[in-house]
Structure 1
C-alpha cells in the first residue's frame, strides 16, 4: 500500500493574498503536484492539516478544486485533516455537508483490501496546540480493534509523540498523549501521519510509527537555524509504503513554485527566540 502524504498548504480565499507577504500558496501546491506527474500506484492521498490559512469556505473549495482531480487521476481516495489554522465547521459546511463538524471533524476513508484512513481533528479554535477530547478518544478506540486484519492509518495535526527539537515550542504540541497512547496500544493501527511542523520528523506512540511530512507552503529548518526558527521557500511531500515489516517513508523537498521572490537563499521568515515566545504567548497552552 502506498500513501501520498501532503500537508500544510495554507490556502487563502483571496487569490491575491500571500503567505508572509511572499508565498502564493495555491501556486506552491499546483507546482508541487505538477512535479509529481507520472506518479502511479497510489492507494490514498492524505493531507494532514492547515489546508487553509484563513479558514474561509473559498479556500476549502480551492483546495478541492486542485486536489480532487489530482487524486481522481491517481484513482486514489482523498482524506483531508483539519489543522490549527483550519475551521472545521466551515470546512464541513463548504465542502462536506452532512459530515460531523462538532466537536470535531471525524471521518473514516475506506481503502482497498479493507484498510482505512481514520481522520482525527485535534484543532482547538484560536490556538496553535492540539487536543483530543474524551468523546473523540472514545470514537477512536471504537475504530481501533485489537488483533484485527485490517490495516489502518491515523491522520491528524498536530502530531503525537514527535516533538520539535526546540523545547521552547512544546507549547504548540498535542496534549493528552498518554490518553491517546492508551487508546492505540495493541491496536491494528500501522502508522500515524501528521503535519503542523513544516519539516520532516519521525517518532512513535504506543509503539506505532509517527511520520510528519514537510510543508508545502514552506519548509522549516529545524537544525541549521540555531536558536531562531527559520523557514525556507521550499515545498515537501512524503510517500508512505505499508507492507510486511515496518512502514517505509521517503520524502522530497523541492523549490517552492509559489515563491514570488524566487530567492531560495532568503528565508521566508526568521523568528528570534523573543518572537517565538510571543507566538507561544498568543497561541500556546
Structure 2
C-alpha cells in the first residue's frame, strides 16, 4: 500500500569549497552546511519521519571542483539514496555525473529528475547555463517537462529549479534570474496540476503566487542575502533549509534556520 504522506527536505546554495577553511562573504560555508545538515537530521528524528527525498537545488560547489562534490557525497552519508540533485550556476555537470552516477542521468546534456512521492510528481529542472550567472531552461527540457506533465496529468506536481521564474524585487538579483521564465511558465500554465515551484539562487526566503502556482525561494545553507536591495547586501539571519510535507492533495512547507 502506497503512503499517502511524504516529507521532503530541500537544501539549496551550499557553495561548498575544497578548502575546509574557505570563506564566502565572511561565512565558512563548509561549517554552516554541516550545522544545517545536523539540524535537519535532528528534525527528522524528532518528527519520527525519515525524509522521503532530499532535494539539493543547485550551487552545490562554489569552486566547481571534483573533490568538492566528493566531500558533499561523504557528508550526505546514508541519505544518498533518497537524494535528488539539480545544478545551479555554480556547478559542473561533468563532475556531478562522475561523483553521483546513481542519482543523475548518465546521458543527455541536462541533469533532471522525475519521481513519484505519496501520489505527487516531483520534477527537477536544470537551469545551468555554461559561463553565465543567470539561468535558462533549454527548449528540449521544456518539451521533456511538457511530456512528463502530460504523462502524469492526474498527479499534483511540485517542480524544483535553481533560478526562480519570478522577480524578487532586488534589481541586482532580478538581473541574473531565469532569462526565459515566460517560456517555462507557458508550459506550466498549459497544465493544471503544477501546484508549487521550489527554487534557490537568491539566498533568501520568499513566496509568490503566479498563475495559481506558488513559487518559493529557499535560503542558502550558508550566506544569506538581504531582500529588496539594489545591490548585494548580506543578511545576518542564520542559514537554513526548507521542509515540505505532502499529504493527499495538501502541501505544507516551512523554513527552519539555525538558532544563533
Which TM-score band applies after superposition, normalised by the shorter structure?
0.7 to 0.9
Q: Name segments (4+ residues, structure 1) moved above 6 Å.
A: none
Three-state SS of the structure 2 residue aligned to 1:58 is helix
Match of 2:37 in 1: 33
Three-state SS of the structure 2 residue aligned to 1:130 is coil
Match of 1:5 in 2: 10
- What's the CA shift for 1:201? 1.1
Q: Is the 8 A contact 2:24 2:223 kept in 1?
A: no
| Equivalent of 1:231 in 231, 234, 251 | 234
Q: Is the 8 A contact 2:170 2:231 kept in 1?
A: no
Three-state SS of the structure 2 residue aligned to 1:242 is strand
Residues 77-96 of structure 1 show CA distances to partners (whole Å, capped at 9, x for unaligned) of: 21111001111122112322
1:212-231 aligned at under 5 Å gives the runs 212-223=217-228, 227-231=230-234
Residues 193-234 of structure 1 show CA distances to partners (whole Å, capped at 9, x for unaligned) of: 1100000011244422111111111111215xx544321352
- What's the CA shift for 1:165? 1.3
Three-state SS of the structure 2 residue aligned to 1:247 is strand
Three-state SS of the structure 2 residue aligned to 1:83 is coil
Unaligned residue ranges in structure 1 (runs of 5+): 257-285
Q: Is the 8 A contact 2:11 2:55 kept in 1?
A: yes
Rounded to whole Å, the distance in 2 between the matches of 1:101 and 1:7 is 24
TM-score, length basis structure 1: 0.77
1:153/1:236 Cα in 2 relative to 1: closer, same or farther (>3 Å)?
same
Q: Is the 8 A contact 1:28 1:235 kept in 2?
A: yes
- The answer as to 2:109 corresponding to 1:103 is yes
Match of 1:65 in 2: 74
- What's the CA shift for 1:120? 0.7
Residues 133-173 of structure 1 show CA distances to partners (whole Å, capped at 9, x for unaligned) of: 11111011111127733333211111112x22123432211
Match of 1:117 in 2: 122
- The answer as to 2:43 corresponding to 1:43 is no
Residues 11-62 of structure 1 show CA distances to partners (whole Å, capped at 9, x for unaligned) of: 1123342223x32222111111222314242322111110110111111111
| Equivalent of 2:94 in 72, 89, 104 | 89
